[in-house]
Amino acid sequence: MIKLLKLEFSKFRKSTVVILLSTMFIVFLPFSLSVGKLFKDLPPMLPSEEVFVRFSTIWEYLGYAGNWMVFFFIGVLIIYTITLEVSYKTLRQSIIIGMTRNQYFLSKLYLILTISVIVTLYYTVIALIIGFINTPDADMAMAFSNEWAIPRFFLMSIGYLSFAMMIAYLVRNSGLAVFLYLSIVLLIEPLARLGHVKFLGAKFQNYYPMNCTEDLMPLPLLKIADYVKSSDFDLVVLLSYKTAAIATIIWSAIFIGISYYNFTKRDL
């Protein structure tokens, strides 16, 4: 595993796109919390802007910002690391000079796992630093009272990145793969869910893959909406964390399986 990860690092450590996307994630994630400070008139359910930077709510707000940033910056980065090797033909070359297809596939899978660990660690460190600075009388128990936010963030990353990997392996063209990835998450799946509700009813409409992943780190305000909706109507806005986690694991396994099958069976 270490050998394959070192190889991936050697390939991409000087790639401008990879450096740019990583830097944007690193810079924008902590700064995303300051967006909350820009709102002068907060919605009535928010007691103060301090919720963005204090325990335990910081885990939710930073997690939600991370949700967007992992989806965009890191998802595109994963697509790029796969499709770039197709366009430079270094994928073919890696196989020609001695990697087995399994090894090559594993190198990308390890990359996804490692990046997910790194972004989760970064999320944890940022939440702890900002939380401890801004929360009066904070202690470790208060700091980690976060409804499993750390494993949820990790699973969310795996969900997005395995989906990005599948799109990259299927499409193999950088521009098209990024376009398709963004379109599915932002447009196609939400439209499909709307259609689902209209024609098939509300049941199961939450189980679409990217929705399950999003529900691991949802917009905190949606929890209130979910409470109201669920009480008044038979419509669930958010999946429970446990359900979202199980669904994300299943979807990720499917994405990885499809990627593996596609990569090992087709001509390169």
Is 7 a binder of other proteins (CB under 8 A)?
A: yes
Is 172 a binder of other proteins (CB under 8 A)?
A: no
Is 11 a binder of other proteins (CB under 8 A)?
A: yes
Is 227 a binder of other proteins (CB under 8 A)?
A: no
Stretch that binds other proteins, among 14-22, 62-70, 118-126, 193-201 (CB under 8 A): 14-22
Is 2 a binder of other proteins (CB under 8 A)?
A: no
Count CA atoms closer than 13 A to 73's CA, side-chain side: 21
d(CA 51, CA 2): 40
Please check whether residue 205 is in contact with residue 197, taking contact to mean a CB–CB distance below 8 angstroms: yes
CB of 109 to other proteins, least distance (A): 17
Is 16 a binder of other proteins (CB under 8 A)?
A: yes
- For 137, left (φ over 0), alpha (ψ -120 to 50), or beta? left
Stretch that binds other proteins, among 29-37, 192-200, 225-233, 259-267 (CB under 8 A): 259-267
Cβ distance to other proteins smaller for residue 3 or 242: 3
| Cα angle value 55/219/157 (rounded, 5°) | 85
Stretch that binds other proteins, among 10-18, 51-59, 131-139, 208-216 (CB under 8 A): 10-18
Please state, in angstroms and as integers, the Cα–Cα distance from residue 230 to each residue in 53, 218, 226, following that order: 29, 16, 6
CB of 91 to other proteins, least distance (A): 9
d(CA 263, CA 200): 35
Cβ distance to other proteins smaller for residue 80 or 241: 80
Q: Which of 2, 10, 38, 136 binds other proteins (CB under 8 A)?
A: 10
Q: Mapping DSSP to helix (H, G, I), strand (E, B) and coil, where does residue 82 land?
A: helix
Sign of CA dihedral 149, 22, 219, 188: negative
Please check whether residue 104 is in contact with residue 94, taking contact to mean a CB–CB distance below 8 angstroms: yes
Please check whether residue 131 is in contact with residue 53, taking contact to mean a CB–CB distance below 8 angstroms: yes
Cβ distance to other proteins smaller for residue 14 or 40: 14
The 91-130 contact track toward other proteins, x by CB under 8 A, reads: -xxxxxxxxxx-----------------------------
Positions touching other proteins (CB under 8 A) are 3, 6-7, 10-11, 14-16, 88-90, 92-101, 265-268
